[in-house]
Structure 1
Amino acid sequence: YYSTPAKQDAMYKITQELLQFELIRPSYSPYAAPALLVAKHDGTWRMVVDYKKLNNITIKDNHPLPNMEQTIQVLGNGYQ
């Protein structure tokens, strides 16, 4: 994606702040997703990540964890 120098500078600052607060960490994965900046109504930037391509190659879990409400319905009166 194309980005202006001002957006690149803002992205760097946001990334450094997220690293400092340990909300993100460096990744050594062979997979990645592009991060973009979207302007908020107050003029500041919001970082968003486009996971569409990564989600398309993700292998679905054949044995997902059951939904709590469904489990309670199956258990019926055995759940108190």
Structure 2
Amino acid sequence: MQVKEDEELHRENIFHARCHVNNKCCFFFFFYRLFNDIFLEEVPNGLPPLRGIEHQIDFIPRASIPNRPAYRSNPEKTKELQRQDRELMEKGYMRESMSPCAVLVLLMPKKDEKWRMCVDCHAINNIIVRRCMHWVNTS
């Protein structure tokens, strides 16, 4: 099954780093097998249970909610998008939302001739209240 190979590839990418030191390329490999008591063999289905932490995204006061039409796509892409949506909902990674906001989704071809789902959040990101702390530069 293709999923297992993809999971192995993702694990390899997570634990493989490359950096440049004094104009020399350095590679770091971290083997998850050394820490196999931390990583699950199987990816669990569904979202984790609610733990009492509520999360909300606040919008800028009086900002208009973006209401853009969906991207136009051919029937093949539309069917693939519906299939991926259905698969993610069946696995429990995604659920229906009653939010007044929607984000646009499009499919981009991957090298292995499959489709990658890409989410365009630009319109929503422009109207949310940012709650981040700025790092102080001491240099």
TM-score (ref. length: structure 2): 0.44
Residue identity in the other structure for 1:46: R
RMSD of equivalent CA atoms? 1.7
Question: Equivalents in 2 of 1:5, 1:66: separation in Å?
Answer: 45
Counterpart of 1:8?
Answer: 78
Q: What's the secondary structure of 1:32's corresponding residue?
A: coil
List per-residue Cα deviations over 1:25-71 (Å, max 9, x = no partner): 0010001100110100011001010000100001111xx4798xx9x
2:125 aligned residue (34, 38, 55): 55
Match of 1:39 in 2: 109
Match for 2:83: what amino acid? Answer: K
**Structure 2: which 5+ runs fail to align?**
1-70
Paired residue type of 2:108: V
Alignment of 1:11-22 (within 5 A): 11-22=81-92
SS of 2:107's partner is strand
**Structure 1 regions of 5+ residues with no counterpart?**
71-80
**Greater share of strand:** 2
Higher share in helix: 1
TM-score (norm 1): 0.75
Supply the AA of the counterpart residue of 1:25.
R
Q: Does 2:104 align with 1:23?
A: no
